[in-house]
Amino acid sequence: MQVKVKLEFSNWAAVLSGVPQGSVLGPLLFLILVNDLPLWICNSLILMFADDTKVSRKICNENDGALLQQDLDSLMEWSKKCHLDFNIEKCKIMRVKHIFQTDVDVVDLRAQADEIYLCPHLTITLIYNIL
């Protein structure tokens, strides 16, 4: 790859992974790169918009939690395969309802009180039980 600023060109350098920043083709190349990501998620719902990815699953028992973890592990495997690291600082977890306690924590994620989904066909209804 070579960078042009005004009339000057940089030296050629090999680009082994990623998408060129600031290019016209960059967004298209990124979409091609992440196009197979949903194929890696077998047990959960995945929503993608540009560079934002959300994975969710209703957790009713420990098996559901294990299936979600399996998909999260698959995401990490995909990330390593594509040389495209997730920014852990931007990763969040949103609990709608917590049913059981687990003692497995690999990475502490920042809790998120609310999140906006840009999906025209998705309706989210939150029901609160106040005792």
Per-residue pLDDT tens for 3-62? 788 888 889 888 776 666 677 777 888 888 889 999 999 999 999 887 888 899 988 889
* Cβ-based neighbours of 6, under 8 Å, separated by 6 or more: none
Question: Residue 117 pLDDT > 80, yes or no?
Answer: no
pLDDT reported for residue 93: 82
For residues 75 and 91, is the Cβ–Cβ distance under 8 A? Answer: no
User: pTM value?
Assistant: 0.59
Q: What is the pLDDT of residue 39?
A: 94
Strand ranges in the chain using DSSP code E only, listed in sequence order: 4-5, 8-9, 45-49, 52-56, 92-93, 110-111
Q: How many residues does the chain have?
A: 131
How far apart, in Å, are the Cα atoms of 99 and each of 58, 60, 65? 11, 7, 11
Tracing tokens 């917590």 back to the chain, one arrives at 98
Mean per-residue pLDDT for 51-78?
Answer: 90
Query: What pLDDT shows up at residue 111?
Result: 58
